[in-house]
Each structure stands twice: as C-alpha cells, then as structure tokens.
Amino acid sequence: MTPELTTNLPQFAYSAQQVKDNEAIVASQQNVVMYALMQQAAASVFQLLMLKYGNCDKVQVIAGGGNNGGDGYWVANYALQHELDVSVFSVKDVNQLAGDAKRAYFDYINQGGEVVDSLDTSADVYIDALLGIGFCGELSSEYLDVINHINQQNKPIIAVDLPSGLNATTGEVAKACINANYTVSFIALKQGLLSGNAKQHVGNLYFAGLGLADAFIEHVEPLSQLVNYDALKASLPVRHINSYKQQLGHVLLIGGDKPMPGAIRIAAESCLRAGAGLVSVATHPENRAIVVQGRYELMVHAVEHATELEPLIEKADVCVIGPGLGLSNWSKTVWQAIEKVNKPIIIDADGLNLLAQKPINLAHMIITPHCGEASRLLGIPSSEIELNRFDSVSKLAKQYNAIALLKGAGSLVANSHHTVINTSGSVSMASAGMGDCLSGIIAGLIAQGMPNFEAVQLAVNIHGRAAEIAEQQGKRGMLVSDLYPLIRKLVD
C-alpha cells in the first residue's frame, strides 16, 4: 500500500512527548501494529526519494540507535527491493539496537543489505535516520561529528520525521543539525518543525499521516494550531460597493521621531492599503511634510505634547504606536499619551522598548516584537527566546495581558489561551521596513471590523503571501513600498 504523502499540513501541532505517549494507543485503537507503522513511515520516505531523486545512482541511509534508525533500515530495504545501490551507515553497533529497530536491521540484512561504519562521500542522496522524536538534551559529540560531516557534503538530504539535531517540541537547534532538503514527518505534526531557526533545517516539509492522523487529532488536545492565508481570508470583512470611509474605521498611527519619518509612513501607507477608511498620523513636527508627501490621503498631525494626542486618540477606532518612535524626550512625552487608551492598540518597534522599561496594562493591547524586542520585554537573552519560541510567545501574551505576535520565520501569535503558527509565506522577511508594514496591516484589518486575534493572524499571512508573490515575480530586494499593491490585491 502506498502511504499518503502531502505538503498539505494538518491544522494542529503537538509536542514530541504527546506523540510518544499517544501513537501506540491510537495505533492499537485502529488495529495497527507498530512495526507495520515503521514500514509505512519508511515507505513514505522512499516514495519521496523516488519522486525527487528518482535518477540517483547511490543512496546512503545514516541510521541511529532508536526507531528513527529503524525507519532508516526500512527505507534502505525498499531501496534494495527496487535494485538501487544503497548502504546503511550505522552510527550504533547492532548490539545496541533493540525492539523494532533491531527487527528492521535483521529484515534488511536478511534481504542482503549492506551496513558500513563510515559515511559514503560518493553517495548522491542521504537519508537522515539518526534521531527522531526520541532526541533530547545536548547532542552527543559522536552525533555532532556525523551531522557536521553529512552537511559538509552538500548533497541532497531527506530527513526521516525531523532533521536530526532539532528538538521536535521546542524548535531548539542543537550545536549541529541536519540541513535537510526535505523532511517527511509522520502521524502528527510536531510543532518544533514549524517556527524560527528550525525552518532553515527542515527544508520542504511533507506529512504522512500513516492512516492515523485524524484519529490522533481526535484523541489528543493539540498544543498549537496552524493557520494559512487560504484558511483565514474568508474572515476578511466584505467591502460593500456602497460603503463609505467612516464605516471602514479610523486608525491613528503615532511615531516618526526626527530622524525616522520612513517607518511611520510605511506603517500608515500599509494601513491604507489594507483597507482602513481613514488614516491619521501623529508625528514629530519636523516630519509632517515628509510623511504626507506623495500620500495625500494621510491626515498628518505635528505633535509635541501628550495633551495634543488626546483628541486624536479619542477620534480613532484603533491606534498604532512605535514605528520610528525613537527613545528621545519627544518619544517619551508622546508615549505617555497612551497610558489610558481603551481601544485596540498595536505597540511596535520603540514602543516595545518603552513598554519593556515601564510595563503598562491596557485593555486591548497587541504587541508585535521580533526576537530582540521580545528579549527586552521578557528580560532574557534573545538566544533564549529562540530556544523555545512557543513558550516565549505565550509568556509574552500572559505577562503583558496582550495578544502577542513573535515575528520571524514561522511567526507565532498567542493570546492567553492559544498559540497559532503562521504557515503562509516562505521567503525571508529580513528587509528594513517589513515590520512597520505589518503593524499597519493589523490596524487596517481591525479598523474594518475584524476581531483582534484573527486580524493579527490574517495580517501576518497577507504580509507573508505578498512577500512570496514579490519573490515569485523576481522582485527580491524590492522597496517595501512595492509590496503595497500586492497587499491591496490580496485584501480585495
């Protein structure tokens, strides 16, 4: 039987422990034997091998000592059956194998399979079956050397279940981690594959449910949920042909200290492009003319004191504070104005740095940090944020009583109950101004009537999708302003 293999990922994600604790239970409920599951897992990897590298001459499987290695022996077994030139480099002595892995080893040997004790540098493709969900703690030096050696070959690699060296729950990347071109993950999606540095190692992610995926989702409460643009776009407010601007929300964006007019302009323009009816900007007096230039739809106010902001906040439905705000005396004066805001407010960029210095508690706060800003908000080094982005985003949401968006590859959005993983957009967002763009889109969607949590999710997806379309059109390195027509096209 050919197992189903798809890039359409399930909607829910789990920890390694949840998979370990429940896969045998779910399998037995469905009358499936674990060894048969191992064979099916391997069959799905072999299927992908043939699909992507069907013309390869030589394959080597690198097998560890657990059941991930067992999967590897079965990939090699199928390769043998298809008369490929295949060997297994076993990192562990056969005496150290146990259970299904040992059985898979003997089934491979009995088929005439070859096991060697070094990496075959002449192989065309490697199958990484070193470590799966059983990997925990610090990577041992033995595995570290092997992983580095494999990566150095610069050959295609297919990872079995996950790239070895990656923690399937937290997304922490060990000192060495396989750089896979493809990963085939089994039964239930592990959340650690989906965000942050992990994205660099996983390559193209395939999923093989092995006939158990639906039962698993039914049986086990997920840790996080995946959302993509297609799933969210239906919740976009409909723009009626007879609507007028007052019905589509009024956004006030505050920021743009003397040297930084660009950021607030980018945020405001994105907000217009995302469909807000009216967009006001409150900025440093010296920047008023620059911000409005060429974008005459913006209503731009020069402000010097917090009191001047009060009537502007009063008139707005949604506020954004932070893009280009700076940390000067002007910035701090303006910042004071938001202390009593009782409407949705998106705090970004330097607003987050001021928030980290003196936390405030607002009723409808949305914070949008990247890793560095998150580290200041939580008072821990940024390297620690990346060790577990899932924990980090949920801590941010709880500690600040806010909706938190942790930006970066596979952005995460959390409120006090849920964590959502963004799966749209597979291109790097690391260009100046991209973050400012995002805060404007969030505000624009909320202004039109979307609930805050959904608006943040959709904004991240629109942003990712627009960047992806730009990339497809060969516009990498394009000015952020070139993204706006794409955003508008997506929103319409």
Ligand X SMILES: NC(=O)C1=CN([C@@H]2O[C@H](COP(=O)(O)OP(=O)(O)OC[C@H]3O[C@@H](n4cnc5c(N)ncnc54)[C@H](O)[C@@H]3O)[C@@H](O)[C@H]2O)[C@@H](O)CC1
Residue ranges binding ligand X (CB under 6 A): 34, 37-38, 41, 64-69, 71, 100, 131-140, 143, 160-161, 186
By C-beta, is 6 or 243 nearer to ligand X? 6
Q: 138 contacts which partner out of K ion, ligand X, none, CB within 5 to 8 A by kind?
A: ligand X
Q: Which residues are annotated as a binding site for AMP?
A: 407-411, 435
Residue 6 neighbours by CB distance under 10 Å: 12
CA 270 – CA 256 distance, rounded (Å): 15
The answer to whether 34 and 100 have CB atoms below 8 angstroms apart is: yes
Q: Is 71 in the site for K ion (CB under 5 A)?
A: no
Pick out residues in 213-242 that bind K ion (CB under 5 A).
none
Residue 176 or 490 with smaller CB distance to ligand X: 176
Nearer to ligand X, 23 or 350 (CB): 23
Instruction: Tell me how far, at minimum, the Cβ of 176 lies from ligand X, in Å.
Output: 11
Nearest distance from C-beta of residue 83 to ligand X, angstroms = 24
128 lies in the site for K ion, by CB under 5 A: yes
Q: At closest approach, how far in Å is the CB of 388 from ligand X?
A: 17
Distance CA 360, CA 340 (A): 9
Q: Cα separation of 413 and 20, whole Å?
A: 26
Size of the site for K ion (CB under 5 A): 4
> Do 487 and 270 touch, CB atoms closer than 8 A?
yes
For residue 31 the two structure tokens come to 């009358």
Instruction: Tell the smallest beta-carbon distance from residue 100 to ligand X (Å).
Output: 5
Could you tell which of ligand X, K ion, none binds residue 344, using a CB distance below 5 to 8 A set by kind? none
When binding is defined by CB under 5 A, the residue of 15, 67, 164, 169 that contacts K ion is: 164
What's the number of CA atoms in the CB half-sphere (13 Å) around residue 461?
A: 26
Could you say which of ligand X, K ion, none residue 135 binds, taking C-beta under 5 to 8 angstroms by partner kind? Answer: ligand X
Q: Which lies closer to ligand X via its Cβ, residue 68 or residue 353? A: 68
CA distance 331 to 336: 9
Cβ proximity to ligand X, 76 vs 491, nearer residue: 76
For residue 254, the cross-strand partners are 282, 321
Q: Pick one of ligand X, K ion, none as the site partner of residue 256 (Cβ within 5 to 8 A by kind).
A: none
Evaluate whether 22 touches 220 at the Cβ level (below 8 Å): yes
What part of residues 142-161 is at the interface with K ion (CB under 5 A)?
159-160
Strands (E), 289-411: 299-302, 318-321, 345-347, 365-367, 403-406
Which are the contacts of 32, defined by CB distance < 8 A and separation ≥ 6? 210, 211, 212
Closest contact distance (angstroms) between CB of 22 and ligand X is 11
Which entry of ligand X, K ion, none binds 137, CB below 5 to 8 A by partner kind? ligand X
164 binds, among K ion, ligand X, none (CB under 5 to 8 A by kind): K ion
Rg over alpha carbons for the chain, rounded to the nearest Å, is 26
Residue 64 CB, nearest approach to K ion (Å)? 8
Q: 100 touches which of K ion, ligand X, none (CB within 5 to 8 A by kind)? A: ligand X
Q: Decide: residue 96, CB within 10 A, 0-12 exposed, 13-18 middle, 19+ buried.
A: middle
Query: With contact defined as beta carbons under 8 Å apart, do 313 and 253 qualify?
Result: no
* Alpha carbon distance 146, 61 (integer Å): 12
| CB of 242 vs ligand X, minimal distance in Å | 56
Judged by beta carbon, residue 193 or residue 334, the one nearer K ion is 193
Residues in contact with K ion by CB under 5 A are 128, 159-160, 164
